[in-house]
């Protein structure tokens, strides 16, 4: 698959921007991982200061999907660390977007996967297994539903209801 830049997607799909189908996530995320450009179908998860469900998802085959986690924007602990990111890379996930914090940044930056998060934090998350899978979430001012497509690069993150060609 050829890598498509978010600018190209915007420039070639102005009608989708006008209609609201193609949406840009507010530029609040830091870039981690070796894969700076990634895209794929979205899997959504809501998990506040808890990483059990995140780990469960990343243990599955990724098949080029992108896990988008609404961590409520919490800056009080990390809900994603190095071990699950290594597992995600090995299981074929294209990327992970976390509306929250990560830790083990050096380890994550060594992985061939795209990771976006608000910041890094040394403290661990809870392990209660509380959260909601495959539900619509809103991060960075953008509503994101399970099965939509995410496009990410160094310019930002776009969400589309379907896979786009440029």
pTM: 0.96
Q: Any binding-site annotation on 27?
A: no
Does residue 141 contact residue 70 with C-beta atoms inside 8 Å?
Answer: no
Burial degree of 2 (CB within 10 A; 0-12, 13-18, 19+): exposed
Q: 17-46 in b/e burial notation, b at 16+ Cβ within 10 A?
A: eeeeebbbbeebbeebbebebbbbbbbbbb
For the chain, give the mean pLDDT.
Answer: 96
> pLDDT band at residue 2, thresholds of 50, 70 and 90?
low
Q: 1.20.140.10, 3.40.50.200, 3.50.30.40, 3.40.50.1110: which CATH number matches 6-159? A: 3.50.30.40
CA distances (Å), origin 74, targets 8, 21, 40, 62, 119: 32, 28, 25, 25, 10
pLDDT at site 166: 67
103 annotated binding-site participant: yes
- Tell me, what's the pLDDT at 4? 76
**Res. 27: pLDDT tops 60:** yes
Q: Does the annotation flag 83 for ligand binding?
A: yes
- Annotated ligand binding at 84? The verdict is yes
147 annotated as a binding-site residue: no
Q: Which residue has the tokens 């795209």?
A: 114
For the chain, the domains span 6-159
pLDDT digits 0-9 by tens, 39-90: 999 999 999 999 999 999 999 999 999 999 999 999 999 999 999 999 999 9
């Amino acid at each position: 698959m050829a890598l498509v830049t978010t600018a190209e997607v915007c420039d070639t799909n102005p009608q989708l921007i006008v209609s609201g189908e193609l949406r840009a996530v507010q530029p609040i995320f830091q870039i981690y991982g070796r894969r700076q450009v990634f895209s794929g179908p979205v899997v959504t998860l809501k998990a506040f200061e808890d990483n059990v469900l995140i780990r469960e998802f990343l243990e599955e085959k990724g098949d080029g999907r992108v896990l988008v986690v609404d961590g409520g924007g919490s800056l009080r602990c990390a809900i994603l660390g190095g071990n699950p990111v290594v597992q995600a890379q090995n299981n074929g996930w294209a990327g992970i977007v976390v509306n929250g914090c990560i830790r083990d940044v050096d380890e994550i930056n060594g992985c061939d996967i795209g990771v976006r998060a608000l910041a890094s934090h040394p403290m661990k998350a809870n392990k209660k297994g509380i959260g909601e899978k495959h539900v619509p979430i809103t991060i960075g001012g953008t509503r994101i539903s399970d099965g939509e497509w995410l496009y990410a690069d160094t310019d930002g993150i776009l969400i589309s209801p379907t896979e786009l060609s440029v």
